Amino acid sequence: MKASVQGFQNKQAGSGALFEDIYLLDGKRTPFGKYTGGLSTVSPTDLGIFASRAAIAAAGVPAADIDQTIVANIGQASADSFFLPRHVALYAGAPIASTAVLTQRICGSGVELLGQAAEQIALGKANLILGCGTDTMSRFPLASYSARQGFQLGRPEFVDLLWEALNDTAAVPMGATADNLAREYALTREEVDAFALRSQQRYANAAEAGFFQQEITPVEAKGVLEMEGFNPRKYRCNGRNGISADEHPRQATMEELGKLPFVFSKEGPTTAGSASGIVDGAAALMVASGDYVRAHGLKPLGKIRGFASTGVQPEIMGIGPVPAIRLLLTQMGLKIGDIDRFEINEAFSAQCLAVARALELDQDKLNVNGGAIAIGHPLGATGVRLALTCLKTLQRDGKQLGIASACIGGGQGIAMVVEAC
């Protein structure tokens, strides 16, 4: 069997591709650091290098075999952001002649880069690809778009990109889309808070069982990232200690969640407790052709079977996973009941709960280790984490098929079907 791709397109439903003989070898992620927490002083480039080096080691492949590097990064949060994909590739050990490119589909970028990697392999343009998503959201800058043209005395104009970039100027702020879905699907404050609490509890149970240790590569308090022929990269964490575990998860009760004020509308129900965490982190996965896997006697985590993306109304962007999942399953001849595990990004409780209602999901299959409400949502890294967690979960639970999916700011959805090996 040779790696192959079959594209599909429907003007009313979206587009995507189905794959044969393309594998996800293994991956790693950094811990996800809380807002202004342990990783807030580390650039997204350095976080991407950490995750990429760990993924290469976990996959058991030489970096010298990498043909391409595809990186997702949303917030330009370091002075070398123009060079971020190339720097991640070079400092991870990829050959000089290999290429690096940036992809951006906001919250779906991590899934998108894996799909693009599969397409490149199926087209015969690569046999081994490093896929990495990274964002240091704490470092999203304050920006002045008009300072070069001058400003009135005492009236410089700056915007906070971390806040302003979450406002879709074509429609409404991201959080308001969750409140819109809550009204459309008649979700109560209690239901939304209960979903958030469940995310935290499921994460805590999985962490106690040691599940996330297989995903995470620790970041020491300070150090130097070196690669022969290039300038050394110094980094320092925020604090005397390094970081080896996710910082955002927290214990909560329904009573505590119920006291939090609404954030995006007077009616709610979205609060800080039922929204994904603003965090810093990176995740990486190695994508390979079947020929490469067989030639090197590798034991991959799983296969990429297909992925799809679609557009929805911006004011209900959170429903995006629904048409993307439906389109992909239809193309594959599968039904919702055929999928064993779902990793759907918890941008907001109301959003993820609306998706579950619309698809009539068995919630015992959904985000069984918790989701972004507990772990956090570092925009460019999330999709890679979803795919990695999905495959690790399928492997642990002895299951076969999984879906990694996310809603996307501006009104899109993306989904990928993976199969455990």
| 367 located within any domain | yes
Q: What is the mean pLDDT of residues 124-147?
A: 95
* Predicted pLDDT of residue 156: 87
Instruction: Assign 71 a pLDDT band (cuts: 50, 70, 90).
Output: very high
Encode pLDDT of 255-267 as tens digits.
999 999 999 999 9
State which amino acid sits at residue 344.
I
CA-to-CA distance for 372 and 279, rounded, in angstroms? Answer: 10
* Predicted pLDDT of residue 154: 85
Does 1 have pLDDT greater than 80? no
Share of the chain above pLDDT 70, in %: 100
| 252 located within any domain | no
Encode pLDDT of 275-325 as tens digits.
999 999 999 999 999 999 999 999 999 999 999 999 999 999 999 999 999
Encode pLDDT of 83-104 as tens digits.
999 999 999 999 999 999 999 9
Q: What is the domain count for the chain?
A: 1
* Predicted pLDDT of residue 340: 98
The CA distances from residue 337 to 36, 330, 416, in Å, are: 41, 13, 16
CATH code for the domain of 313:
3.40.47.10
The 8 Å CB, 24+ separation contacts for 325-331 are 325/359, 325/403, 325/405, 325/413, 325/415, 326/13, 326/359, 327/10, 327/13, 327/14, 327/16, 327/415, 328/16, 328/403, 328/415, 328/416, 328/417, 329/417, 331/8, 331/16, 331/18, 331/306
Does 368 have pLDDT greater than 90? yes
φ, ψ at 235 (rounded to 5°):
-140, 160
Domain that holds residue 301: 4-140+277-420
Q: What is the mean pLDDT of residues 56-64?
A: 98
| 363 located within any domain | yes
Decide if 72 contacts 45 (C-beta within 8 A).
no
| 102 located within any domain | yes
Decide if 5 contacts 308 (C-beta within 8 A).
no
| 84 located within any domain | yes
Contacts of 327 (CB under 8 A, 6+ apart): 10, 13, 14, 16, 308, 310, 415
| 272 located within any domain | no
* Predicted pLDDT of residue 355: 98
Instruction: Assign 165 a pLDDT band (cuts: 50, 70, 90).
Output: confident
CA-to-CA distance for 267 and 187, rounded, in angstroms? Answer: 12
Does 30 have pLDDT greater than 80? yes
* Predicted pLDDT of residue 128: 98
- Count of alpha carbons within 13 angstroms of residue 169, beta-carbon side: 3
* Predicted pLDDT of residue 92: 98
| 130 located within any domain | yes
Q: Angle 108-113-119 (CA atoms, 0-180°, nearest 5)? A: 125
- Count of alpha carbons within 13 angstroms of residue 126, beta-carbon side: 26
Does 345 have pLDDT greater than 80? yes
Share of the chain above pLDDT 90, in %: 92
* Predicted pLDDT of residue 206: 98
| 117 located within any domain | yes
Q: What is the CA radius of gyration of the chain?
A: 20
Show which residues are catalytic: 107, 407
